[in-house]
Structure 1
């Protein structure tokens, strides 16, 4: 790090070298520069410390980045925001939220980039309570309504299932940007209000704002959730013909989802066979999901074969194909799928559901008995099951893959993770309190029907966010209209 003529590097030189190491990224070179900085006494300079922290963060050594960050004497909001953002990028959200809390206590005011980073993390985690606190802070400190942080608020509330607050924030924006419009459209689509999603898309067009490819993903999703095949195809064709955009893989996946969930398999195959690009895993998974609904065994085999080539380790493909066979009573084929999973070491991802009660997260697995109030939960479910049958509920035992007696199938269905979570929510909260449950997988048809009955029997509003969308149950009706 020293020239032939004895000229030593200064803080600007080493900062530039660290930036180059971060850009490559090359941790080894960055560490060598760090060693030189310590030896040359440049480690007292704020600019150098900031560059060091940035280098370690971009090279994936987040703990080293935090070590440097903690020893910086003069940390401005840019430095804080960068460190907070690194935690979120690495999926270490708890530490990101904790550091954000430290920032607030430090007296340094967050900027729009800080708010946007934290709100986006709230979106991915559906942490609406944290998002609301940030919203309150932004209002108290006079946040700029023109800023992209305000748009991040719309996105956060939409992703957390509170689309009505998202709309209120949206209406308070002097000039909504495309991100805000798209977030609101996608929010309505995911929350079972496709008509409003399409209404706001038409308002977007009237406003003169030009939609992009992400906007159309929300629009096509809205059509899918409502079963609007003709309208969806009209929007799909308009992407290129009217708006001059190029189709993306996501657009094709959405339109295949729309067609297959409506049983339009020939039209779906025609589009797949004419695509200018190779179908991706999302498209094939959408097709396989539609085949599961309608029992299209032939096309399910085609979709599964393609998925086995793309991601042979994904258990969801095996399970969905086995579901198709099980629904048709093809137990030999189900056994063959299970053997293939065992031979290839593929393990099914366990279904888990969670909910927050009094600021504590409660997690449930299928058949889980580890919760402190497990006996109460199971006793309540047993009593609830009796009341549901009196109301006319019939368990959909075709969702159980095992070739066992009907009574055993009903018992297996009774203890799915979302049912356990909902039962806990009912006994752990005051009468009439809305319940919100999150699930890592798509909810099955039996649970969906059961929760409709439960919502009516206990007179509760129950929201379930699965891996696909929000389901809002009230008085025995789901917001998705039984089309998901």
Structure 2
């Protein structure tokens, strides 16, 4: 505790405003203190108050309310006590000893006063402590306090009662004993590091002594060395003392008495005491104002402790923690609130326990807590709960909390908008993601890389790569470097749609950004040129990939074969496959699927069925495209049984079918004469919300008019 004597003296200016007759008059070197303080001082002399002095329970709480905290005192090293005159080494050592004594004494005495006089404010306690410290300093300047007898206490003056002076005496002896313990501890450290003790430890270690036993022996040897050193020092002091007095007889009792530290008197002092910290004079009143401001800030940042929970309240809390997901916690929460009267820190403690021990009910109770007045709900609490629901992709729950937030009068800030952008981008709701993104701009917050990345990926999922590219350009203008993932996402989107110019533009931007082409890069250009119907340029990129050391995988090879399929160049496709197999390439399910679809369109039923067997040998589930190709092939070939089998698989997986698959299947059924089946599949297509093309509508109308019958079973 950094309580300085001169700072205490400055409090007299405030205390002296109380117009009352002083009870004690003036002490040496002090201003007169108002009489309002002294009755409190005399109350210490009562037996009941003195009993309370023996049990200081809230010392630390009062210490934190002093001008400087104890932590600050420890951080500053020690307070310098300087005399007006006297600069010798012995006096400096005496200054340090006195400083430590007064610091410890004031710390303990303030705690005892604050424990007894709970109704007194800070200024009153400071005044009491000022009188006590001044009297102790006055006695120190006289040459020390004589040891007092318990039965008849020799009072140095009439200002203190017997019990109060006894308390001062006990605190003084307590401080001196603590200082002696610290001195011995520091001295013990020196002997632990002495060469003799280290040598003995090395010898013990070589002899096989390890662990706790070695540590015990080390402390034992150090203690013996310290006691031996103290003994010889006491003899040396005794010898000097005898020489000064002219004597020379050694008395063992005198040695023992000399060796025992005297703790029955306060240190002697001459002159006036002046306190400084790191060279700064604390007599300036500005330091009191600074200390008060520091205390106010500490009150704001120091975490409060939750209330202790026991008895019935503890049982209710355990029931809350053990609730099931479907249980209603409202009644238990109401009972818990009535028993505990919780504050915000109590609520947070409960929610933390729920999050660790019962995550199923954590979010439900966290949502109920938002309405509790004692929880002191903030914007961050709403945002935190929205984020928790967003991470679990529970969009409806997150939107419900957002609605509650707005209804409570709290508008979403930038952090909440960021959470919504990530959530809607993750679920592919590009419209809501765009709204959240625009609200983020309205808040005046600049989107960071993560927000741009989420928004661009949302546009790519919605097949709007141009909007994503515009955001990427905006990122560059703001100095945010797009990642390779963003470039590859845009390149992937343009390539699969066959937009070669846009794909080339993204590739050029990647080159300027310093990203090196990889296997997927070339594979996407093979796919882009294949979708655009240019197998020659697709083959050029395919060959360049091989030249750069990238071995084509199954997907890249399938893209190249699909490029040849666009132009029906079957011979080139087969030649490519033969060349790759000579180099050790093994076709996978993607390559087999492209060839099977190609053979099906050519009505090469036996060859297609052979490839179907190859896919089965791989042990993988055939993709949906295989069943669409088989249904198309068997329907046009007139195989009724196999057509219905393939159609049954497609109906079972109807949720995976897109508009292109529906159109091809219905067209094949009409071409094969399966009109009723075509109409049924068309009904499923409309239920899914897909729009029928004009060509397919005309085919359905024509098939109904002609009433074409099914072919015979083959």
Q: Same fold (TM over 0.5)?
A: yes
Please, which of 609, 612, 626 is the counterpart of residue 283 of structure 1?
A: 626
CA distance in 2, matches of 1:12, 1:216: 58
Deviations 1:374-414 (A, max 9, x none): xxxxxxxxxxxxxxxxxxxxx997675524379xxxxxxxx
Gaps of 5+ in 1: 354-364, 368-394, 407-484
Deviating more after overlay: 85-94 vs 31-40: 31-40
Q: Distance in 1 between matches of 2:386 and 2:440?
A: 17
Q: What is the aligned length?
A: 352
Structure 1 residue 94 and structure 2 residue 395: aligned?
no
Q: Name the CA shift for 1:20/1:258 in 2 (closer, same or farther; >3 Å).
A: farther
- 8 Å CA contact retained: 1:288, 1:320: no
Offset, 1:268: 1.5
Q: For the residues of structure 2 that align with 1:12 and 1:204, how far apart are their CA atoms?
A: 59
**C-alpha deviation, 1:110, in angstroms:** 3.4
**Residues 184 and 325 of structure 1: is their aligned pair in 2 closer, same or farther, counting only changes over 3 Å?**
closer
Rounded to whole Å, the distance in 2 between the matches of 1:260 and 1:3 is 77
Contact kept in structure 2, 1:185 and 1:201, CA below 8 Å: yes
Contact 1:186 1:219 in 2 (8 A): yes
Q: Which moved more, 1:141-150 or 1:4-13?
A: 4-13
For the pair 1:75 / 2:414, whether they are aligned, the reply is yes
The answer for the alignment partner of 2:82 in structure 1 is none
Shift of 1:322: 5.8
Q: 2:533 aligns with which of 173, 188, 192?
A: 192
> Does structure 2 retain, via aligned residues, the 8 Å contact 1:318–1:337?
no
RMSD: 4.8
| Equivalent residues of 2:627, 2:646 under 8 A apart | yes
Work out which of the residue numbers 110, 113, 119 in structure 1 matches 2:447: 110
Which of 390, 395, 398 is the aligned partner of 1:57? 390
Give 1:327's aligned residue: 671
Q: Report the TM-score when normalising by structure 1.
A: 0.56
8 Å Cα contact 2:390/2:423 also seen in 1: yes
Please give the per-residue CA displacement for 1:194-231, whole angstroms capped at 9, x wherever unaligned. Answer: 43333323333333456556545544433433434455
What secondary structure does 1:83 align onto?
helix
Q: What's the CA shift for 1:166?
A: 1.6
Q: Measure how far apart 1:327 and its partner are.
A: 3.1
CA distance in structure 2 between the partners assigned to 1:238 and 1:45 by the alignment = 65
Matches of residues 149-228 of structure 1 in structure 2 within 5 Å?
149-159=486-496, 161-173=498-510, 174-175=514-515, 176-177=517-518, 180-209=521-550, 214-228=555-569
What is the deviation of 1:11?
5.8
Which of the numbers 563, 574, 596 marks the counterpart of 1:256? 596
Structure 2 residue aligned with 1:414? none
Partner of 2:378: 44
CA deviations over 1:306-335 (Å, ceiling 9, x no partner): 34145347498887566445435x4xx424
Instruction: For residues 78-123 of structure 1, give each alpha carbon's deviation from its aligned partner in whole angstroms, at most 9, with x where no partner exists.
Output: x655422322343422112222233344443434443343333333
Find the structure with the greater CA-based Rg. Answer: 2
Q: Deviations over 1:350-391 (max 9, x none)?
A: 7638xxxxxxxxxxx759xxxxxxxxxxxxxxxxxxxxxxxx
Q: What displacement does 1:167 show?
A: 1.0
Asked if 1:352 corresponds to 2:708, the answer is: no
Matches of 1:187 and 1:267, distance apart in 2: 28
Asked if structure 2 preserves the Cα contact closer than 8 Å seen for 1:185 and 1:219, the reply is: yes
Name the structure 2 match of 1:35.
Answer: 368
C-alpha displacement of 1:140: 1.9
SS of alignment partner, residue 108 of structure 1: coil
2:194 aligned residue: none
Q: 1:210 to 1:63 in 2, by over 3 A?
A: farther
Instruction: Give the Cα–Cα distance (whole angstroms) in 1 for the partners of residues 579 and 366 of structure 2.
Output: 54
Q: Structure 2: where are the runs of 5+ without partners?
A: 1-306, 318-344, 708-714
Partner Cα distance (1:309, 1:301) in 2: 13
C-alpha change, 1:158 and 1:277, in structure 2 (3 Å) is closer
Taking the aligned partners of 1:254 and 1:20, their CA distance within structure 2 comes to 52
